[in-house]
């Protein structure tokens, strides 16, 4: 089988791998993660990764386990190395021995409705209150909030157009009347400040020509939670989780929630059935039925 060499200075291994990922529609975050994992492997190896052997890959995984590296990191490295050897280097047989770690994801942190209200009220100013309200009120990812443009708000159809979301897919998100009113307040304030450009970013950064950064939104959420005296570990994604959980507790069909969140697989949305306290409270324990029979309040089944 032919293999790829990296002797040409204009076609380094890193460049080839980036090209391969771009052609397959990988997002910037995934590309950065894959490159980082390959770089870590090269550092362990002490030489270019395209010179690795099957035994080198095995030694690397043994080393990860001995260092108690987390399952998510190990599995991320497996995905990156499988791509490197299987796609970029055209040596898929190299990665056959890589082992994925099986683990159960942790339950996601969810705010109550009252906690969510307190957090949004504690946001510092109309810009951040509007941005965090979009994350919660439309269930958007932090990167999707940051990259919204003014023209993405469709007040006629009451939709928010999310372009190039996760997986580079476009979708529509819900726009409530309250959220629209809040966004209009921010639009008027932004115009007054001179930061709201025609067809520009809905939430511009400091320069005005660039969008607000995800890091800034993370910091604002944590500061708002502290002011609201919320002691849970929160992030912008917590607002998205809370959006989905609160909808589920209102009785919204999980398939509708799947569409609103932009999930491809219903199993991804299914995690919210594990964190919905109202859903669990709605299920009658079999112990209650037994006690009812013992007390004569229900006929034996």
* Active site (catalytic) residues: 141, 166, 237, 240, 263, 272
Helix (H) or strand (E) holding 174: strand 171-174
Distance CA 68, CA 71 (A): 9
As given in the structure block, the two tokens for residue 183 are 């966004």
| Residues in CB range of 238: below 8 A, 6 or more apart | 108, 109, 110, 111, 221, 232
As given in the structure block, the two tokens for residue 130 are 């509007």
Distance CA 20, CA 87 (A): 7
State the burial class of residue 140 (Cβ atoms within 10 Å of its Cβ: 0-12, 13-18, 19+): buried
Distance CA 212, CA 202 (A): 9
Distance CA 301, CA 291 (A): 13
Residue 42, φ and ψ in degrees, nearest 5? -65, -40
Closest CA to 81 of 101, 63, 97: 97
């Amino acid at each position: 089988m032919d293999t790829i060499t990296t002797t040409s200075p204009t076609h380094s291994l890193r460049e080839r791998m980036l090209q391969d990922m771009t052609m397959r529609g990988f997002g910037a975050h995934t590309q950065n993660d894959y490159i980082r994992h390959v770089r870590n492997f090269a550092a362990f190896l002490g030489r270019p990764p395209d010179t690795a052997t099957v035994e080198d890959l095995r030694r690397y995984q043994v080393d990860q386990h001995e260092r108690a590296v987390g399952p998510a990191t190990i599995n991320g490295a497996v995905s990156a190395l499988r791509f490197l050897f299987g796609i970029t280097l055209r040596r898929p047989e190299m990665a056959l021995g890589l082992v994925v770690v099986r683990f159960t994801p942790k339950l996601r942190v969810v705010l109550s409705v009252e906690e969510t209200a307190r957090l949004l009220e504690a946001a510092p100013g109309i810009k951040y209150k509007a941005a965090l309200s979009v994350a919660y009120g439309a269930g958007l990812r932090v990167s999707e909030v940051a990259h919204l443009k003014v023209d993405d708000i469709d007040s006629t159809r009451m939709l928010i157009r999310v372009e190039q979301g996760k997986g580079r897919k476009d979708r529509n998100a819900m726009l409530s009347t309250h959220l629209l009113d809040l966004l209009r307040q921010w639009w008027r304030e932004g115009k007054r400040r001179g930061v709201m450009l025609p067809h520009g970013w809905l939430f511009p950064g400091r320069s005005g020509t660039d969008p607000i950064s995800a890091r800034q939104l993370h910091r604002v959420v944590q500061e708002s939670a502290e002011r609201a005296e919320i002691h849970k570990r929160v992030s912008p994604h917590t607002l998205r989780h809370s959006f989905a959980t609160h909808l589920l507790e209102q009785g919204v069909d999980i398939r509708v929630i799947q569409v609103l969140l932009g999930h491809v697989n219903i199993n991804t949305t299914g995690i919210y059935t594990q964190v919905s306290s109202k859903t669990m409270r709605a299920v009658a324990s079999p112990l209650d039925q037994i006690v009812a029979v013992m007390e004569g309040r229900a006929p034996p089944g």
